[in-house]
Chains A and B, each alone.
Chain A
């Protein structure tokens, strides 16, 4: 069985602070994929990143960066110099060998205050 845990239910920061959203996963599959999605107040989930289990390189995209550590089954997401527009619910998701089936965590609500 697959499981994704996002232990932080809510995080509140002040604009320009850095913030890290944690994601811990469980799977028996040797090949799997990890995702992060953003769900702004409008409700539409927006894809941010996909990582496969063979690629442990960290990735940076503008103010966003992701730290994948297979040894601790974690795939954490950091926003540098947060902005008010980053306020949203962020979901981590896991996909296994059953191609297309993703298990989502319960999300972390990020509030960035001006």
Chain B
């Protein structure tokens, strides 16, 4: 079974530039998560999707961040414009979803550096 796929693995941009991250979850996983992990800290949830519906985006900075999950499979997270403080690793995870708090499977992450 293929794992969660993310691209790119690394991205270096200048501040005020836009950037997008892509995630392909494990086949059959209805729930998809985007996390941000700052250096030396644990992952922080940005947004959670149940199929194509964003059910928890309370931590997403909506002035510059946006996300979509068309057709309830792949997802894209965008930052526009990027700021220096956005430098972090952006993790995507997926799970089978439902009420049982299933195990989350994580992708390798995208390391973003904003100069």
Contacts and interface: CB of A to CB of B under 8 A. Distances in A.
B104 to A, nearest CB: 7
Contacts of A33: 101
A66 interface: no
Given A43-B108, A100-B48, A105 B31 contact: no
Given A45-B91, A50-B101, A50-B103, A104 B108 contact: no
Given A100-B95, A105-B42, A44 B107 contact: yes
B62 interface: no
A98 B100 CA distance: 11
Interface residues of A, number: 24
Interface in A64-114: 91, 93, 95, 98-102, 104-107
Given A50-B101, A100-B33, A107 B42 contact: yes
B106 A44 contact: yes
Contacts of B33: 100
A56 B87 CA distance: 39
B23 to A, nearest CB: 13
Contacts of B67: none
A42 interface: yes
B42 A106 contact: yes
21 contacts: A35-B103, A37-B106, A43-B89, A44-B106, A44-B108, A45-B91, A47-B104, A91-B43, A95-B101, A98-B56, A99-B98, A99-B99, A100-B50, A100-B55, A100-B95, A101-B48, A101-B56, A106-B40, A106-B41, A106-B42, A107-B42
Interface of B: 3, 31, 33, 40-45, 48, 50, 55-56, 89, 91, 93, 95, 97-101, 103-109, 111
Given A4-B42, A95-B101, 19 more contacts: A33-B101, A35-B103, A42-B108, A43-B89, A44-B108, A44-B109, A45-B93, A47-B104, A47-B105, A50-B101, A100-B31, A100-B55, A100-B101, A101-B48, A101-B56, A105-B42, A106-B40, A107-B40, A107-B42
